[in-house]
A and B are shown apart, each in its own frame.
Chain A
Amino acid sequence: MVGSGLRIFNAYPAFARRGEQFCCYPFEHKAIPDALTFGGWLGGARHWHFAMMWVLVLNGLVYLTFIYLHGEWRDLVPRRGDIRDSFAMIKFYLFVSKKHPVQGKHNAMQRSAYFFLPILAIVQVLTGLAIWKPVQLGWLTALFGGYVWARYWHFMTMLALIVLSFVHIFMVFAVDPYSLQSMITGGYREDLSPEARNARPFYHLLPRWRRRAAQGE
């Protein structure tokens, strides 16, 4: 979706309505490098984009239905004290505090990331519909501030999703690689959790004596 979207964007790598300037994008009329695009040409990329959008939507619906039916959405909604708990996590990662805070299945920063990811994805789909059908779904386009702004939010939401995804994947490998098992099979070894290991990023790559020392901190 991202690659074909960038290919489409490259046909007019700007947001300004013709005859106007656009305030809020510093790279107007600068194309995205071809290597980051997919679909070959504008028409091809459009076909990919409009085919794969259904996969994205179906995938999202399965996910939302699943966490709704299993009640797991409760693990993701923000809670009182999340801001304080996020600072506790940051302090731990910055070596200000010594003990890994114990904050349940997800820590406060994780929880807000997992809460905002689906919301951003929904915005991504809605802004996409708004620029696909700016007349037949004109009310939706108007909701995002018109065609130019809907296109802008579609682009910005994509950037936010990419940043969040990269941080997420980075943290999986840096802090809790053992959670890969739970993502695939559902099993999770509590004794290998970041709390149990008192794990800061890349802690698991340290030599064993250093890890033991960190645990004893």
Chain B
Amino acid sequence: MDRRKFLSAGGFSLTAAFLAACNIERSPRAQRLLDLAEHRNENVERLLFQHSSMNYAKNGAKIAGSAFPSYFISDTVPVWDESVRGPWALEVSGLVKNPTKFTLEELRRLPFRSQRVDHFCVEGWNAVAVWGGIRVSDIARVVGATPDAGYVDFQSFDNGYHESWDIESAMHPQTLVVIAMDGHMLGMAHGAPARIHSPIKLGYKNTKYLTKIVFLPKRNGGYWSDQGYEWYGGT
């Protein structure tokens, strides 16, 4: 095939592809291609991932404070009602040597970290806050997470909301079980009494109103990932 023939054939097939693309937005075939791309992109993202990549909010950036949006899926702000459910505790289980229930007091006795970082929402906005809490990796050490735990599910009392993570992201030093925000106890709108926060995942991966951390051999989807957002959601 000479150059001219090659180029005109290429031109025709491009035109054909373009015409086919007109009604492609919801076609199942396209969906398969997008799924494949998501899978490939996750591999790229995991390749790029490094525990040493840290996020620090820009020096001049304002702390969002009351302008920090707060999302939850229940009809009203989820509140842990002690009179109904008993005292709150964080249950850590799954592929661990010592399944443990941490009361808020017990969590406070673990090494406390504070970080002024960005929050990246899937919608495109970002917001700065000072998050204080305990590294998930420290909790994993305390309970003795086993090497076959490749994934972690963060579950909440917000109407079944949960999101599962790859273990590498969960063990990142900036992934915290947060109990304090901007120097105060975590507020009800932001996931009290405890939530997950990490700048290395998009907002929806950071489960609020945390009740359970389950170490798993395989992934367990998530509230938004099951509805079509990327499961990996890494930044």
Binding site for B on A (CB under 8 A): 8-9, 11-12, 14, 16-20, 38-44, 46-48, 50-51, 54, 133-138, 146-148, 151, 184-187
Known: A43-B230, A136-B49, A136-B234. 5 other contacts (CB 8 A): A11-B124, A17-B127, A18-B125, A19-B64, A186-B7
Is B189 at the interface (CB under 8 A from chain A)? no
Chain A residues, CB < 8 A from B124:
8-9, 11-12, 151
Chain A residues, CB < 8 A from B26:
40
Binds A, one of B55-63, B100-108, B154-162: B55-63
Chain B residues, CB < 8 A from A136:
45, 48-50, 53, 200, 234-235
Chain A residues, CB < 8 A from B230:
43, 46-47, 50
Q: Is the pair A18, B118 in contact by a Cβ cutoff of 8 Å?
A: no
Kindly supply a per-residue 1/0 record for chain B positions 66-79, scoring 1 wherever the CB is within 8 Å of any chain A CB and 0 otherwise. Answer: 11110000000000
Chain B residues, CB < 8 A from A41:
228
Minimal Cβ-Cβ distance residue in B for A139: B53
Binds A, one of B33-41, B82-90, B137-145, B211-219: B33-41
Chain B residues, CB < 8 A from A14:
125
Give how many A-B residue pairs fall within 8 Å (CB-CB).
116
Binding site for A on B (CB under 8 A): 3-4, 7-8, 11, 25-26, 33-34, 37-38, 40-41, 45, 48-50, 53-55, 58, 61-69, 118, 120-128, 199-200, 227-230, 234-235
A54: contacting residue among B37, B54, B68, B128, CB under 8 A: B37
Q: Is the pair A50, B125 in contact by a Cβ cutoff of 8 Å?
A: no
Q: Is the pair A133, B123 in contact by a Cβ cutoff of 8 Å?
A: no
Chain A residues, CB < 8 A from B234:
133, 135-136
Q: Is the pair A134, B235 in contact by a Cβ cutoff of 8 Å?
A: yes
Chain A residues, CB < 8 A from B227:
43
Complex: A14 Cα to B53 Cα, angstroms: 27
B7: contacting residue among A18, A19, A137, A185, CB under 8 A: A185
* A54-B37, A146-B58 known; A137-B48 Cβ under 8 A: yes
Chain B residues, CB < 8 A from A148:
126
Chain B residues, CB < 8 A from A17:
61-62, 64, 125-128
Complex: A97 Cα to B67 Cα, angstroms: 59
Q: Is the pair B4, A185 in contact by a Cβ cutoff of 8 Å?
A: yes
Q: Is the pair A18, B25 in contact by a Cβ cutoff of 8 Å?
A: no
Complex: A43 Cα to B230 Cα, angstroms: 8
Q: How close is B62's CB to chain A, nearest CB, in angstroms?
A: 5
Among all A-B residue pairs, the 7 with the closest Cβ atoms: A51-B37, A19-B67, A18-B127, A11-B123, A19-B64, A12-B124, A18-B64
Q: Is the pair A18, B68 in contact by a Cβ cutoff of 8 Å?
A: yes
Minimal Cβ-Cβ distance residue in B for A21: B62
Interface CB pairs A-B, < 8 A, 24: A11-B123, A12-B125, A14-B125, A16-B125, A18-B68, A19-B62, A19-B63, A19-B67, A19-B68, A40-B25, A42-B229, A47-B37, A48-B34, A50-B38, A51-B33, A51-B34, A51-B41, A54-B40, A133-B234, A134-B120, A134-B126, A137-B48, A146-B61, A184-B11
Q: Is the pair B123, A134 in contact by a Cβ cutoff of 8 Å?
A: no
* A17-B125, A18-B69, A136-B45 known; A43-B229 Cβ under 8 A: yes
Q: Is the pair B4, A135 in contact by a Cβ cutoff of 8 Å?
A: no
Minimal Cβ-Cβ distance residue in A for B38: A47
Q: Is the pair A135, B235 in contact by a Cβ cutoff of 8 Å?
A: yes
Minimal Cβ-Cβ distance residue in A for B11: A184
A138: contacting residue among B55, B65, B66, B127, CB under 8 A: B55
Complex: A30 Cα to B235 Cα, angstroms: 26
* A50-B38, A133-B48 known; A18-B55 Cβ under 8 A: no
Complex: A148 Cα to B58 Cα, angstroms: 10
Chain B residues, CB < 8 A from A133:
45, 48, 234-235
Q: How close is B161's CB to chain A, nearest CB, in angstroms?
A: 17
Chain A residues, CB < 8 A from B122:
11, 42, 46
Chain B residues, CB < 8 A from A9:
124
Chain B residues, CB < 8 A from A47:
34, 37-38, 228, 230
Q: How close is A144's CB to chain B, nearest CB, in angstroms?
A: 12
Complex: A85 Cα to B40 Cα, angstroms: 48
Q: Is the pair A43, B228 in contact by a Cβ cutoff of 8 Å?
A: yes
Minimal Cβ-Cβ distance residue in A for B67: A19
